[in-house]
Structure 1
Amino acid sequence: MFELSQTFSFDAAHTLKRKVSPEEAAGSRRIHGHTYTAEVMVRGERHPESGMVVDLAVLREVIASVRSQLDHHFLDEVAGLGAPTLENLCVFIHERVLPQIPQVSGVAVSRAAGDRCVYRP
């Protein structure tokens, strides 16, 4: 069994309603942005003819399509995302990759502040 991954980054702005201290919540409610790094993981056996789990060029094309829906966008307005949390970003990316790459086994999204979420359905 093999697991391959492809990473990509995107910059996006958002707001977030949080149930924390008023000082902390105020910063989240204002429009602010992050540089995100996402990783799409695929898992499977090598195809007998190609020797690959998935053609990485195909995976990069699918990821480019997803990235274009997020990069330099206001995440609050991205259809199908919901609240712009790391968790929802993972699910959003997974749901858009899965129809074209059925071997997708997980998605991770992180921010430079050290926050990271991994989704493995």
Structure 2
Amino acid sequence: MSFEIAQRFFFEAAHTLDRTVTEEAEGSRRIHGHTYQAEVAVVGEPDAVTGMVVDLAHLRAAIAVVRDALDHRLLDEVPGLGAATLENLCRFIARAMGSVSPPVCRVKVSREASGDSCTFHPPPPS
């Protein structure tokens, strides 16, 4: 029996996005910001001694590093992110959480105000 443990965090960030074929292209090209909600999940069996899949303090510490890289930043300038899409944010967060054990099985990034979200399931480590 496995358990999925998740931790949610928020960050505020600005970005631009070069969209060519859309009614929102002009506004997207200007610097604009969002409140993002992200959720990181791990899956596994509880440890026989601690009863935990992961110590949430360790998960929160790893998230704090990722959050610091994104919060109140111009996402266009975040090294390794690429275009500030929901997809790239999910992938960036998953890569940045690479030291967490058990490994991240799901990352979800949402913008509640606009109703947008993306869920990424990283491949298991080899």
TM-score, reference length from structure 1: 0.95
Please list the CA deviations of residues 39-80 of structure 1 after superposition, one character each: whole Å capped at 9, or x if unmatched: 001100011111100000110010001000000000000000
* Aligned pairs, number: 120
Q: Give the whole-Å Cα distance in 2 for the aligned partners of 1:102 and 1:3.
A: 10
Equivalent residues in 2 for 1:68-83, closer than 5 Å: 68-83=68-83
Identity of aligned residues (%): 61
Equivalent residues in 2 for 1:1-121, closer than 5 Å: 1-21=2-22, 23-112=23-112, 113-121=114-122
Secondary structure in structure 1 of the residue aligned to 2:83: coil
Q: Give the whole-Å Cα distance in 2 for the aligned partners of 1:47 and 1:101.
A: 12
Secondary structure in structure 2 of the residue aligned to 1:17: coil
The structure with the greater share of residues assigned to helix is 1
TM-score, reference length from structure 2: 0.92
Deviating 4+ runs (over 3 angstroms): none
Secondary structure in structure 2 of the residue aligned to 1:19: coil
Question: Superposition RMSD on alpha carbons, in Å?
Answer: 1.0
Offset, 1:104: 1.1
Deviates more, 1:96-105 or 1:10-19: 96-105
Structure 1 unaligned blocks of 5 or more: none
Q: Give the whole-Å Cα distance in 2 for the aligned partners of 1:102 and 1:13.
A: 31
